Amino acid sequence: MTRVPLILVSPDFESKGREHGDRSISLSARYLDALTRVGALPLAMPATISRNVIAECVRRADGILLTGGDDLDPRLYDARLPQAVRKTVSITPDSGERDFRELVVIDEVFRQHKPLLAVCRGHQMLNVALGGTLVADIPRQWPNALAHGRNQDRDQVVHDVRLTPGSLLAKIVGGLKLGVNSTHHQAVARVAPPLRVTAASDDGMVEGLELKPGGTRWLPFLLSVQFHPERLEDRYPAHQAIFQSFARVCALSSDNNL
């Protein structure tokens, strides 16, 4: 019998939460709802920077989900970023810890060969962790881009992305075009060497990444997307299929670890 897969979800953090102003985990329930709807059991990662604890969290999980959030610190991918662009980057006092934590998570995911789904910020973090770079501010650095920071329409399809034939994402959604939402200020620039682009918008923005076939890196499942399927999956079967496919592989991973 297939066990319910346990999915480790990497949350954001707040310096002052609602309870007594304590440092708190911040996590949209949309991710948890999307996972439970496809039969998975989500568990939020603790607020730790201990490599041993992070490694144990990954070990006990059947899969890992990297979520969206604030911008990445430019020092991770471009130490020479112009000050005018740097000023547009939205980071918080807790961003550095989150950046470090997720870099360690990604390292452990590859070391332990766990399925990984990365969304928006997670998509960007994956690319940086594997040696890629980012567009730090789309309006300044990509002036002819589509309007990608459409936060007011975060629950709506606002543009299409083209999918690479034969890619994991194309197989999951059953086609070569997918309507997506768009709420990001940064984007993938130079793609990390182990990855390939498998989804792009009409302006050339990287909307999906997967591992290159036959490369030195391997995972049971790796998909990163720039959009937010957890905000669309309750109305669009193609977006729910992303979570279904991820959970299915995680369940197989769970059985293999019995």
Q: Does the structure show a pLDDT above 90 at 90?
A: no
Q: What integer is the mean pLDDT of 145-160? A: 86
Mean pLDDT of the chain, nearest integer: 92
What does the pLDDT look like over 198-217, one tens digit per residue? Answer: 999 999 999 999 999 988 78
What does the pLDDT look like over 20-33, one tens digit per residue? Answer: 677 778 899 999 99
Phi and psi based region of residue 16 (left: phi greater than 0; alpha: psi -120 to 50; beta: remaining) = beta
Q: Does the structure show a pLDDT above 90 at 176?
A: yes
Domain spanning 6-256, CATH architecture: 3-Layer(aba) Sandwich (3.40)
- State the pLDDT at residue 255: 58
As a whole-number percent, the residues of the chain with pLDDT over 70 amount to 97
pLDDT band at 88 (very low <50, low <70, confident <90, very high): confident
Q: What integer is the mean pLDDT of 152-156? A: 90
- State the pLDDT at residue 20: 66
pLDDT band at 257 (very low <50, low <70, confident <90, very high): low
- State the pLDDT at residue 201: 95
Q: Which residues of 156-171 are buried (b: 16+ CB within 10 A; e: fewer)?
A: ebbbebbbbeebbbbe
- State the pLDDT at residue 253: 74
Q: What integer is the mean pLDDT of 176-199? A: 95
- State the pLDDT at residue 254: 62
- State the pLDDT at residue 96: 87
**Hey, where are the domains in the chain?**
6-256
Q: What integer is the mean pLDDT of 7-32? A: 85
Cβ-in-10-Å burial (0-12, 13-18, 19+) of 20 comes to: exposed
- State the pLDDT at residue 1: 42
What does the pLDDT look like over 224-243, one tens digit per residue? Answer: 999 999 999 999 999 999 99
pTM comes to: 0.94
Q: What integer is the mean pLDDT of 129-145? A: 90
